[in-house]
Amino acid sequence: MKKSFIVLLHIGFWACYFILIAIMLGVYFRSNVHANNPEARILNALKSLLFFAFLPSFISYWTYYLLLFPRYLQHKKVFLSVIHGITISAIAAIIGYIMIRYSIESGYMVDMDDAGKHGRSTAVTVIVAMTLIGLVSGVVALIIKGFINWFNEKKLKEELKEKNHEMEMALIKSKLDPHLLFNTINNIDALIIKDAVEASDYLNKLSDMMRFMLYETMAEKILLSQEIEYIEKYIALQKIRTANANYIHFTVSGNIGNRYIAPMIFIPFIENAFKHTTNKKIENAITVTILITDKKIKMVCENKFDSKPKVRPVNSGLGNELIQKRLQLIYADKHLLEINKNNELYSVHLTINNG
């Protein structure tokens, strides 16, 4: 929702509120127009309404809007929302009552004391009334905030739905990377002459990868073990393109178990690491680590790159923006993605809350 429309919602509420106060002042003016010193009494009435009606409403409204809704109600903590809401309105009422007692002119305070000579019972009645006023304003703030959140979530879902086709097409292109496919086939073809058994092994890996990409990734979630197996085969096929056996270092630590994960969630970052690492003679040019704990699955992918490459790497696969949108679509607030680029080292830290 546009900020201008949100501002208009707030202005609309407070405009209606001040109109109500103006009506109350108008009624008071008509009943006191012939009284002694009516101007002073009306001024005092304005101050009284300011502290009695406006101050508790103002404090409650913005505290409910900025604090109560995002911290409690948005997370469906209804009981805590009610308790904190009443507490906030009561505190706002006490502040308003103190301001009435000590900020209104002494002459009008005498009138107020004469109008209600019941000591603490009068104070309690006034504070309860002010608390109710604050509660009403707070509830309105919650309704406005809830409407804004609902509208924003609906708009986000529509935008994600519109982008879904684009992301799916980009993902398919990333899966069937023609450069990887052609280079792998050529390398296997050259390897057949040297070692037919090894060439057959790599050909089986390529076949398994294509089967995985075409069938397994159709599911919303797959076993983490399947994802890791795909990564291992992908790395193995990349290794035949260089004589450097230590070109990439891949490790998995922790208990894989029967954990599930969205398919192809790690591979785009690993693909990008291979695409942007131009020097295949460097030791550990690419380092990929997957750490599995009871609550989280974390992947760290680091690759060394040439800050001034002679030839620009092929820009294929999923870009960071699409990757992040896919993560947001699948894992929403259940992931943390950190990308850093410095000192000719590009690093990606992706943490996914498991379950």
Among the four given CATH numbers 2.40.40.20, 3.40.50.300, 3.30.750.200, 3.30.565.10, the one describing domain 176-353: 3.30.565.10
What pLDDT score was predicted for residue 166? 61
How many angstroms separate the CA atoms of 110 and 160, rounded? 63
Answer whether residue 243 shows pLDDT above 90.
Answer: no
What pLDDT, in 10s, does the model give residues 138-168?
999 999 999 998 888 888 877 777 776 566 6
What pLDDT, in 10s, does the model give residues 88-99?
999 998 988 888
How many angstroms separate the CA atoms of 320 and 333, rounded? 18
Ranges of beta strands (E only) in the chain are 222-223, 248-253, 260-261, 286-292, 296-304, 335-342, 345-353
Helix (H) or strand (E) holding 42: helix 38-49
60 vs 212 pLDDT, higher one: 60
What pLDDT, in 10s, does the model give residues 278-329?
777 888 899 999 999 988 999 999 998 876 655 554 444 456 777 887 788 7
Q: Where are the domains of the chain?
A: 3-165, 176-353
The full DSSP string for 117-156 is --THHHHHHHHHHHHHHHHHHHHHHHHHHHHHHHHHHHHH
